[in-house]
Amino acid sequence: MLSATSTSTQKTFSRVAIVGKYQAEGIEEHLSELANLISNLGCEIFIEAATAKHIHLNGYPTKKVEEFIGAIDLAIVLGGDGTMLGIGRQLAGSNVPLVGINMGRLGYMTDIPIKDVQTVLPKIIKGEYEADARSLLDAVVIRQDKEVDQALALNDVVVNRSGISGMVELSVRVNGSFMYNQRSDGLIVSTPTGSTAYALSAGGPILHPRVAGILLAPIAPHSLSNRPIVLPQDAVICIEVVDGREVIVNFDMQSLTNLQIGDCIWVRQSEKHITLLHPRSHSDYKTLREKLHWNEYPSTF
């Protein structure tokens, strides 16, 4: 999840919303400390409504995510990349930037460790940060010429079989041109952000966001000649279900639609994007080294 960043010292933040992964151990204490820190910086604080429902944090007003737009300047996500994916989709196109704080395990998007919050977050709120724009995918499921579902994806759109069924056969067209029929366990359509998620485990490349491309990565293809391919950002992809039982399409692995033979999933780059804010010291390459263990060497050869 490399980032296309720009440095800014112009925008500061005064209305801040906090979103927490309320299932996480110790979240209540961390949220309380975070709220106190932001309050002491002179900011108006809101707690996201679902977070507030599960966490006993008194003294702060609440807002639903859909109420953030126009009412807050910055959303702070305390949790993991999964939490950030869900909030990111809801705020896509809103011009509300996000900051991700992890509580132990380093994330690609939630990249600020909780232990560094006291020193890092005040600088970001005061305008010292790098802004990182991320693209999303628009997906529409068409069945017998009717739209049956549509969704945004920040990581990926995945068409695949259920765990107990056999291979699926998919027909893929790009901008109206036939690309291939493939038999496989499925197909991943990924943003550059998602290139370090499921697509990476399927053998896809890591994309830098300046490539501005869309990645197609087959999952365990029957033919080894079906390889990952990077398409231009204006590609319009049509995936038709030709054969297979219990085929589904996932959006960021957080929502899904059951598919039938003949269904078509249309995927293109969305006009919406999200903006992540990182500290000035942020390095995408350091994150990759730590997540992928590029800096580790075996003790014996």
Name the strand (E) or helix (H) holding 40: helix 27-40
> Per the structure block, which two tokens stand in for 169?
């056969």
CA distance 105 to 87: 19
Q: Please identify which of the residues 81, 149, 156, 284 carries the catalytic annotation.
A: 81
Distances (CA, A) of 211 to 207, 230, 283: 7, 9, 18
Angle at 23 between CA 22 and CA 27, to 5 degrees: 55
Look at residues 245, 231, 230 and name the one whose alpha carbon lies nearest to residue 169: 245
CA distance 300 to 279: 37
Look at residues 225, 189, 191, 220 and name the one whose alpha carbon lies nearest to residue 203: 220
Q: Is 73 a catalytic residue?
A: no
Strand 186-190 relative to strand 213-219, pairing: antiparallel
**Cβ neighbours of residue 111 closer than 8 Å, sequence gap 6 or more:** 100, 102, 278, 282, 287
CA distance 13 to 182: 49
Phi-psi group of 212: left, alpha or beta (phi > 0 → left; psi -120 to 50 → alpha; rest → beta): left
SS3 content of the chain, % helix, strand, coil (to 5): 20, 40, 40
- Residues with a catalytic annotation lie at 81
